[in-house]
Amino acid sequence: MRDVIDGGDQYKKTTPQELKRFENFVKSCPPFDIVIDGLNVAKMFPKARESQVLLDVVSQLAKQNLRLLVLGRKHMLRQHSRWRQNDMEKVQKQASCFFADNISEDDPFLLYATLHSGNHCKFITNDLMRDHKACLPDAKTQHLFFKWQQGHQLAIINRTPGSKIGFQHILSYDTVVQTTGDSWHIPYDEDLVERYSYEVPTKWLCLYQKT
């Protein structure tokens, strides 16, 4: 909580009053199944109306009887060509919502609500969370955060004409070097790129010991 939200200076990401309001809000709610970064999700498809994109995501998940939390900013509630009140009212009927001040950052609230809800809870954003990883105090904790992120972050990959949302599947195994004794399985990229989050290598090198 201190490292991710506070970061040594609450005022950079929120205010003490809003932080307390958010903590009380989360503690008063049952655990969530999915926490959604409303602003990030809404801006994923620039040609579509932002409130409609968010409504499509929430409606699709709500049909699965999941307990949802949408995090957003207060300006999302004001009538605008990109934000229709009637869309946002439908969102609020299908999900719990917390709207922070327009100057606040959403990501720390997203991480806190997900962690507070328990290990089953997933979160939706296409943000790579590099800044939050950098706030953590040592390499071991950063690696732990990276592994947790890989197992809990849902990324949206497409939206079809029927407004159906496609999510990137969360792998049920670790993309780390694994061995069974006489064989090794090594995940790799053909291009040398550093992975930060839900992006994981999709190719494996399999080595077997000759007998």
Question: What's the pLDDT at 13?
Answer: 63
Would you say 69 and 32 are in contact if contact means Cβ atoms under 8 Å apart? Answer: yes
Q: Tally the residues of the chain.
A: 211
Q: What is the pLDDT along the chain (211 residues), one digit of tens a residue?
A: 666 565 555 445 677 788 888 989 999 999 999 999 999 999 999 889 999 999 999 999 999 999 999 999 999 999 988 999 999 999 999 999 999 887 667 778 898 899 999 999 999 998 877 777 667 778 888 888 888 888 899 988 888 866 789 887 776 566 677 788 788 888 777 766 665 555 566 677 888 877 7
User: What single-letter amino acid sits at 3?
Assistant: D
pTM score: 0.80
CB atoms within 10 A of CB 94: 16
Q: Where are the domains of the chain?
A: 1-170, 171-210
Pick the CATH number of 1-170 from 1.10.3720.10, 3.30.9.10, 3.40.225.10, 3.40.50.11980: 3.40.50.11980
Distances from the Cα of 161 to the Cα of 48, 53, 56, 164, 166, angstroms: 11, 12, 11, 7, 12
Question: What's the pLDDT at 77?
Answer: 93
Distances from the Cα of 66 to the Cα of 102, 120, 186, 194, angstroms: 27, 11, 35, 33
